[in-house]
Amino acid sequence: MQRLLYNTAKQMLKTYKSAPNIYISGGGLNSQASQFSSQAKAKAGSLPMFEYPSGANIPIPPSIKSPKLQKLLQQGATRQEIKTEFGTLTLKQLEQVGDVKYNAAIVQHLIKQHPQIKWPERMYLYNTLRSNAQLNAFAKSLRTVDRIQARNVTGVKAVADVQEAEFGAMAFEKGRDKTTKYIQSLIEPAIPFHREVYKAHT
């Protein structure tokens, strides 16, 4: 597992060697995240984001159980803020698979589940692992942009938006969403490895 993690990290460094750095200060997202965001926007071009008109009769996927979310989606209120266990996010943010801030919040949440990890080791792990999650989020965001372009061409835009809203619903209903599980699968095995790295350098 350690060899796999080492090779993965090595490959990531090679792939993103033009980026300023892979670490993130405790104060927030660094220029690398901004660079990734601008690249995604450039790839998207001037494609308009789909918005349902207020009061539109929008089909709601049966997996969305929350009456509050159903009502918001039916009203087209995609900028409404929703409180989640990872902080307050807008529905638009929840709909965006691979949202950088959201993935970073998941990493922080997972590390806090290990009370034996104390400061400053916690900050070291948080900065390192959060950065890895952001690199992964960037790759996912580009795939999201590709999907937006595809649905514009095929004319299935409305259906795709409902599917993305369904993903967003999963994000705050009981925390069982795909993103959380995926990031958790990356982070949990990496915590012991990076703890050993930290101990070796202190």
Give the ranges where the chain is alpha helix by DSSP (H): 2-15, 31-44, 67-75, 91-95, 100-112, 121-154, 157-172, 178-200
pLDDT interval class at 4 (50, 70, 90): low
Give the separation between CA 86 and CA 104, rounded to whole angstroms.
9
Does residue 107 lie in a domain region?
Answer: yes
Does residue 20 lie in a domain region?
Answer: no
Does residue 53 lie in a domain region?
Answer: yes
Tokens 């959380």 map to which residue? Answer: 180
Give the separation between CA 202 and CA 200, rounded to whole angstroms.
6
Does residue 22 lie in a domain region?
Answer: no
> Token pair for residue 82?
């929703």
Tens of pLDDT, residue by residue over 36-87, are 444 444 444 433 333 444 444 544 544 455 566 566 555 554 444 545 444 4
Does residue 17 lie in a domain region?
Answer: no
- pTM, to two decimals: 0.35
Please give the residue range of the domain that contains residue 191.
2-6+27-200
Does residue 18 lie in a domain region?
Answer: no
CB 119 within 8 A of CB 195: no
For the four alpha carbons of 177, 65, 165 and 89, in that order, the dihedral sign comes to: negative
For the ranges 19-23, 29-33, 56-60, 151-155, the maximum mean pLDDT occurs at: 56-60
pLDDT interval class at 145 (50, 70, 90): very low
Does residue 181 lie in a domain region?
Answer: yes
Does residue 12 lie in a domain region?
Answer: no
Per the structure, the count of domains in the chain is 1
